[in-house]
Amino acid sequence: MRGIIICGLWLLCGGLTSALDVEAARRADRLRISDSALARERDRLFQTDLFIPPVYLVHRIIRSHGDAGLTVLVSRLLAPTPPENQLAARQQDQRMKLAILRELRFLARPALADVYALVLAEEDSVEVVEFTLLDGLRLDPDRFAMHALRLAVPGARNAHAGARHLRLRRFALRVLVAQVGAGHPDAISALRHAVTDDRLSMALTAVNALRPGEQPGISAAALARVLPQVLRGDRGLEWSLFLATLSRVQLPSGHPLVAQLVEAAGQRQDLAYAILGALRAGRLRLAVEQREQLQILLRKLEDVGLQQALDETLLVIDPGAELQGSADSLRPWVDLRRRLDEIFTPH
C-alpha cells in the first residue's frame, strides 16, 4: 500500500523526484505527470471557465498530492500572464495565482524564496507582484528589499517588468523605505529617482514614505517639483496626497518654498488649512512679513472657519500676539490645548 501511494505521488520531469523543484516548475511545457488525478487537477488550473473557487482547487491539490502537487502549483504560478487584450483570461490568471500565493504563505518553505524571486522578475499583474513581494519579505527581508528597489526604479539595468506600473512603483518604494530605513543608500537612491519620475505622484509618494523630518532635502525637492503644478491649478494632481505631503515637510522661514506656499494659500481653502496645520505643528516657519502676508491673503477668502483657524494658529505660534475682535476669545482654548499637549506628549 505504501508503494502505491509513493508511485501515485511520483512526478516525472527529467528524472526529478516529487520534492519541490523550482527548475522543474519553470519548464512547465515539458512537465510530465504520471499521476492521472494530478494531471487532471493541473489542467483545471489553466481553465478560464472553472466552476469551483480557485482557493478550493489549490488547497485540494496540496492536501491530496503533497510535494508533487506543490511543484505543479509553482509551475502554474510561474506561467506567463495572458495578453492585455484577453481580459477574462487575465482575470482568471490573477485569481488563480493569488490563490496559490495564499496557500504557499502557510507553508513558508525557504525554497519558495527562489520562486518568489522569479515571480517578481517576470510577473506583470500588479496584485500578484504586491502579494509576492510581501511574502518574500517574510522569508528573506534583505534579499527582497533588493527586489523592492528593482520594482521602484524603472529603467534601471536590473529593473523588474512590473516597474512599468505606477501603482507598483509607489508600493515598492514605500515597502523599501519601511524595510531598510530612509537613511539606507538603496532607499535614498530610490527616493531621489522618485522625485524626478515622469509622474508627479511618485514625488509625493517619496515624501509620504518618510517620517516627518526625515531626509529634508529630498522632501523639499519633491515639494519644489510639485508646487508649480499646484499654483497652475493642475487637475491631474492627487490633491489629497499633496496635502498629506505638507504635513511631513519641514521648512525654515528662509527657505524659498515658504514664500511660494504663502502665495498658494490664498488660492485654495483646503491648501490654506493644510499650511496652517503645518504652522501649528512647527514644520513650517514664517518670517514676520510672511506671517502678515498670509493674514492678508486668508482674510480675503472670507471664510469664517478659516479665519478662526488662522487666529488660533497665530496664537499657537506666538502666544503674545495681539489680535483683533473675536480672536481674543480663542486664547483660553488655545492655552488649554497647549497645556494638554504638554501633559500627554511623551518626553
Neighbours of 242 (CB within 10 A): 24
Higher model confidence: residue 216 or residue 10?
A: 216
Task: Count the alpha carbons within 13 Å of 234 in the hemisphere toward its beta carbon.
Answer: 15
Percent of residues, the chain, with pLDDT higher than 70: 82
Q: Which letter, b or e, does each residue of 208-241 get, where b requires 16 or more Cβ atoms within 10 Å of its Cβ?
A: bbbeeebbbebbbbbbebbbeebeeeeeebebeb
- How far does CA 226 lie from the centroid of its chain? 19
Distance CA 266, CA 316 (A): 21
pTM to 2 decimal places: 0.77
Per-residue confidence band for 11, with pLDDT thresholds at 50, 70 and 90: very low
* Model pLDDT, residue 18: 46
Mean pLDDT on 37-53: 84
The three cell numbers locating residue 102: 495564499
Q: Is the pLDDT of residue 137 over 90?
A: yes
Contact 292, 276 (CB under 8 A): no
Task: Give per-residue pLDDT as tens, 253-305.
Answer: 778 888 888 888 887 788 888 888 888 887 888 888 888 888 888 878 777 78
H/E stretch holding 123: none
The residue type found at 110 is: P
Most confident segment among 107-111, 163-167, 330-334: 163-167
* Model pLDDT, residue 45: 85
Contact 345, 307 (CB under 8 A): no
The three cell numbers locating residue 244: 498629506
* Model pLDDT, residue 9: 35
Grid cell 509622474 — which residue?
199
* Model pLDDT, residue 314: 77
Distance CA 65, CA 69 (A): 5
Per-residue confidence band for 2, with pLDDT thresholds at 50, 70 and 90: very low
Mean pLDDT on 169-191: 94
Q: Is the pLDDT of residue 5 over 60?
A: no
Per-residue confidence band for 153, with pLDDT thresholds at 50, 70 and 90: very high
Task: Count the alpha carbons within 13 Å of 139 in the hemisphere toward its beta carbon.
Answer: 22
Per-residue confidence band for 184, with pLDDT thresholds at 50, 70 and 90: very high
Q: Is the pLDDT of residue 14 over 60?
A: no
* Model pLDDT, residue 46: 85
* CA distances to 73, 103, 200 from 155, in Å: 31, 33, 17
Q: Is the pLDDT of residue 202 over 80?
A: yes
